[in-house]
Structure 1
Amino acid sequence: MIYTVTFNPSLDYIVSVDDFILGKVNRTSKELIYPGGKGINVSLVLKNLGMESTALGFTAGFTGMEIEQALQRWGCHTDFIRIPDGTSRINIKLRAKEETEINGQGPEISKEALEQLYQKLDAMTSEDVLVLAGSIPGSMPTSGYELIMERVAKKKMKVAVDATGDLLLNVLKYHPFLIKPNNHELEEIFHVPMDGNDTIIIYARKLQEMGARNVLISLAGDGAILISEDGEVRQSPAPKGKVVNSVGAGDSMVAGFLAGFLTTGEYEEAFRMGIATGSASAFSERLATKAEVEEILKQF
C-alpha cells in the first residue's frame, strides 16, 4: 500500500475573479472546493491513475470531517487522526490576473496525537511506500520528518519526500527513495543561482551524494530533470499546453513518478509519467485524470 502523510490538510476554496480590485467588493465567476494538502493531492492523483493509497494525517472540526468525506467520495482510503480541538484549515486560492493564496493555520497537534501516527507507521512493512509532503505545523517539532524517517529506516521501505530547506536536508541521511525539489528550492538550499540545466544537475547530484536515491527536479515551464540511482541523467522539456492552474502540479508529478515506477520498475517510464501527470494538472482546473495524462504522453 502507498501511504501519504499530510500533517496540516485543508479545504481549498478556489475562487476565480475576472477583474479583482483590492479594497473593493469583488464577485466570483467560478468557485471550487477541494480537500487540499500536498500528501492529499498525491493520493487523489494516484486514485485517478488507478492506484490505491491511504491518506494519513490529522483532521479537526467540521472542516476535517468534510476533508475525510470528500476524499472517500473520490474513492480514496483514509485513516486520519482526529484532533479534539480546533478545526482543519481553509485555504483560499484566488485566481485573477495573478494567482494569490491565503493559507490558514490549522489545529495544534499534541504529542499524544503524534504518537498515534507513529503507531500507524510502526505497522507498515518493506512492501509499503510512504510519501511525506508539505510543511510541518508550528505545533510540531521541526524535526518531524527526520523522526519519521528514523523510525521507518529499518523497514527498508520506499519513502518519497517533497519538502524544502532543512526539512529536506535532514532526511537525506536516511536515503529517501525520491525527493522532488524545484530549481528555486535548489537555489535556497545551496545559495547559488541555478542559471542553467548544467548547474542544476551539479547541485542535484550533490543532494544524491548526501543520501537521496533519486532526485527529480521540476522546472515549471522548462520541464524537468531526473538524476536516478542507476547513474543516468534524464532531461525533458515541458509538454505543450496552456497553464490553467499551477496548484498541485508538483504533487501530481510525484504521484505520476511513483505510479510509473511501481507499475514498470523503469526510471524512464517513471520520469515520463511524472512530467505528463504534473503537466496534466497544470493544464486543468482540477487534478490530473488518467485520460489527460495519456493524451500528454503522446507528445513523448
Structure 2
Amino acid sequence: MSIEGLGRKFQEARKARNLSLEEAARLTRIRQSRLAEIEADDFSNFPSLAYAKGFLQIYGKFLDVDVSPYLDAFETSGNITVDGYSYLQDAPAPKAPRTQVTRRSENARPSLVPFLLGLAILVAGFWFLRFISNLQRITPRPAEATATATAGPTAPVARIVAPRAEPVESPAPSAPVAAATTTTPPPVMATPTIPVATPVPTAIAVATPVIPVARAVEPEVRRAEPVRPEELAAAQAENTAAESNAPNRVDIKPLKKTYMRVTIDDDPTKPAFERWVSPSDGTVEFRGHRFSVTVLDRDAVQIRKNGKIVSNSDTDLRITAQ
C-alpha cells in the first residue's frame, strides 16, 4: 500500500481537534519541522526509515489514526516516491573518521628556573668579587715584598778602587850638535823621546764595621723559700675579699612556661626582667651582687649562681613563688 495521503489524514485529524502545529509538537515532543514534513509526506530529511516509522506511530497514536498499513509499505518497498521524492532505506554513508589531534597543554604558569638561575649567578659573582678583594688585601704587593727582602742586615763589603794612571817626568831632549865648519853638511836634529805613562796601582782602605757579638747570659738561680702560714692566710683572705666584691652571675633556665620577674641589687622600682618565659627562650643570664626572683612555680625554672645550683639558704639570692 502506498503512503500517499497519510499526511493529509494527520492534518485533518489535527484540525478536527483544533490544535495548531506548534501545540501538537509540544504535546508529542516532536519538533514542529518534523510534523510539518510528515503532514506534507516529505521523508527526505529523515536519516533512515526507522526514524520515520517511529514518528508515524507516535503521531498516529496521538491523533487516533491507524498507520499500520502504511508501515507495511515501508517494509516492502525499497524506494518510496511521493510527489517526486525518493527515500533511501539504506543507512547513510559513514562519515570519515576524524583524527584526534592531541593538543599539548601549555603551562600558563611561568617557570621559576630562569629566575633561580640568575639569582645563583648573582650570588656567585658577588662571592667571587669579595674573595678576590680579600685575597688582594691579604697578599703583599711586589714592592713591599722586595723592600722586606732587602731590609735585613747585610755583611759589609770592602770597596775596591781601580788603579789610576799618573804621568812620570822624563829628561829633557838633548841639544842639537852644530857643525864646526861651514863646509860640513847641514846639521841633523835628534828626535825627541815621547814619555810613556806608567800606571801606579793605589789602594784605599775602607774601615769594616765591627758587629757586636751577644754574650751568653747565664740564668739566675734562686732558691725556693717555704711559705709561712700567716702569708697563706693573708692570701686566702685577699682572694675571699676579691670574690665577695666581684659581681655574681645568675643563670635562669626555664623548664616550662611561667611568669618571672627579676630584681637586681634590691631595686624593686626597676626590675631587670619581667615577662613570661618558656623553654624555647633558652637560659637568661644576669650579673649583680644581690638578686630577687619571683616566679609562679618554683619548679618551672632552674637557677644557677656562678655555675652552681642555688640553695634556698643563699644570702645573695631570694626566690619567691606566688
Larger Rg computed on CA atoms: 2
For Structure 1 versus Structure 2, the TM-score category normalised by the shorter chain is under 0.3
Normalising by structure 1, we get a TM-score of 0.15
Bigger strand fraction: 1
Q: Which has the higher contact order (CA 8 A, sep 6+)?
A: 1
Normalising by structure 2, we get a TM-score of 0.14
